[in-house]
Structure 1
Amino acid sequence: MPLETVQFTLHNAVKGGISPSVRWKCITSYDGTDFDGWQRQPSGGSVQNHLEAALSRIFDRQVLIQGSGRTDAGVHARGQCFHFDADWPHPPDKLLRALHSILPVTIRIESAAQVPDDFHARHSAVGKRYSYRYYLGRANPLEQRYLWACRDVPMRWEAMLDAAERLVGTHDFTAYGATHGKDNDPNPVKTIHRLDLSRKGRHITLVTEGSGYLYRMVRSLAGALYWVGRGRLTPEDITRILESRQRTHRIVTAPAQGLCLDRVFYE
């Protein structure tokens, strides 16, 4: 169905008295390379900007969305969640087709479903899963946008595993969060259920699941574990820094392009 026909049909449906207050839960994936992060920006260059512009065009009115959380510029997503309120008197697949006719090809809507009015993409979330990819050496140009190409040097693998295990559990992660992110999440106590490292050849992958993460926390954990692998930090240093509850220059924030938001969990 052409976008203009969808808009005309929707306009008549709303005019005919159908309630416009249906809440929609959407899962989206995106290549974050060319966006100014997730969060709405005055420049109009964020993922949220593009989604809101597309929805507003479809519904012929301003439509604002609420995401499960923000990702920085350059960070990718396979399972970012957002919600919005609007009536759509058609099957969800037609909404997806309408959105994909407008959105850049680097944003894809994986699913759209009606949910109860009390669902909230951010406040209803009970956990998230992230992955971070490293590559030791000069990476394939086709993969360069999706990993951190590190120096190809011997890695202290057992020390990295030891350090990762020390970070699992419920802790005050102030030392591994960015200080200027406190306004968005004032509670530094988080529970990390999983912090797994795997290696295949020169590829290293970090997968973490937790109740929530401070601003730039996953990238800080990824950077810290890399320095353990390089011998710049020890597993004992990781524990001491965690317990200090103070951000230190010894914690390096890993580059954005290696990070991906894989999934947001809801009860």
Structure 2
Amino acid sequence: MRYFFHIGYNGTNYRGWQRHPYGVNVQQTIEDCLQRILKVPTSIVGCGRTDAQVHASQFFFHLDVEKPWEFDMRFRLNKVLPPDIAVFDINPMEGMPHARFDATQRSYDYFIHTYKNPFLSDVSSLYLIKNLNLDKMKEATALLPLYSDYRYLCITPAEHDSTICQITSASWYADKNGDRLRFQISANRYLSRMIRIIVGKLLQIGTGSLSVDEFRSYLAAERAPKALTPAYPQGLYLSKVTYPYLDLTPCTSFSEALLDQANDYWHTI
């Protein structure tokens, strides 16, 4: 029997989602806890990957078991997981749906603060930049859904079978003072470091060190950037994952507690 687990995590203490031998990761942490509960070796499949220190306010993984458990798995798993990983829902699924390959859209949020704040340092990216040209950033952001080949905005394009990504929406928001920013993007898939590279280039446009036309040439695959510098990881959140058969509302309180995201806090740029 297959279950979909709806979770969220603060990625500060982890070397990303994916299991690997190079440090603590979210996948292995959850698998170890499930193994303690189920008393059998456990393997889970996530809806995607997140980099080191990147967060997820909505994430899914699937788990296969021979027979349903007869206890409150959500309560028990939350009890043994560390405080920076939370299980919101557990859904029994019919057939063999796949947490990664069946996802039709993933949305991310990237948070920036432009003043030093020790309480935001792990959950938002600090850029001590004044007078960003938000109009130019908005103009460049509007180009993203018009192009689909992101080979020049990816760290390792050769490692991907395809560099085609269909971005359906992208936009910027700011608080009333304009010193905290929020970038939102939705697409069917992403390439390695793609979102953080895009944010880095848009910030360059905001400071005047990159023109909108130059950015357009990268999107049109006319020329490659001289350098790719991804934006800092701690500002990035996987915030929404959509399936044809499962479209759950994100547990936004998970990130609101950290980032003060009241519904009227952010204003469209």
**Interval of TM-score (by shorter of Structure 1 and Structure 2):** 0.7 to 0.9
After TM superposition, list the pairs within 5 Å mapping 1:175-190 onto structure 2: 175-179=152-156, 182-183=158-159, 185-190=160-165
Q: 1: CA distance between counterparts of 2:170 and 2:101?
A: 23
After TM superposition, list the pairs within 5 Å mapping 1:152-231 onto structure 2: 152-179=129-156, 182-183=158-159, 185-200=160-175, 201=177, 202-231=179-208
Q: Deviation string for 1:28-58 (max 9, x for gaps)? A: 1111000111000225610000111011111
Q: Deviation string for 1:74-99 (max 9, x for gaps)? A: 000011110010133336xx101111
Which amino acid in the other structure matches residue 132 of structure 2? M
- TM-score normalized by structure 1? 0.86
After TM superposition, list the pairs within 5 Å mapping 1:69-108 onto structure 2: 69-86=48-65, 87-90=67-70, 94-108=72-86
- Paired-residue identity, %: 27
Q: 2: CA distance between counterparts of 1:44 and 1:52?
A: 15
Q: Deviation string for 1:126-151 (max 9, x for gaps)? A: 0100000111121x211111111112
Q: Deviation string for 1:133-191 (max 9, x for gaps)? A: 111121x2111111111123111111000000011134100111111x643x4211111
CA drift at 1:250:
3.9
Structure (1 or 2) with the greater helix fraction: 1
Does the CA-based 8 Å contact 2:200-2:230 persist in structure 1? yes
Does the CA-based 8 Å contact 2:217-2:223 persist in structure 1? no
- Give the counterpart of 2:41 among 35, 48, 62: 62
Aligned length: 241
Q: Secondary structure at the match of 2:16?
A: coil
Q: 1: CA distance between counterparts of 2:190 and 2:103?
A: 12
Structure number with greater Rg is 1
Q: Secondary structure at the match of 1:244?
A: coil
Does the CA-based 8 Å contact 1:132-1:207 persist in structure 2? yes
Q: 2: CA distance between counterparts of 1:33 and 1:97?
A: 24
The unaligned stretches of length 5 or more in structure 1 are 1-21
Does the CA-based 8 Å contact 1:219-1:254 persist in structure 2? yes
Q: Name the counterpart of 2:238.
A: 261
Q: 2: CA distance between counterparts of 1:69 and 1:24?
A: 16
The unaligned stretches of length 5 or more in structure 2 are 245-269
Q: Name the counterpart of 2:220.
A: 243
- TM-score normalized by structure 2? 0.85
Q: 1: CA distance between counterparts of 2:8 and 2:223?
A: 34
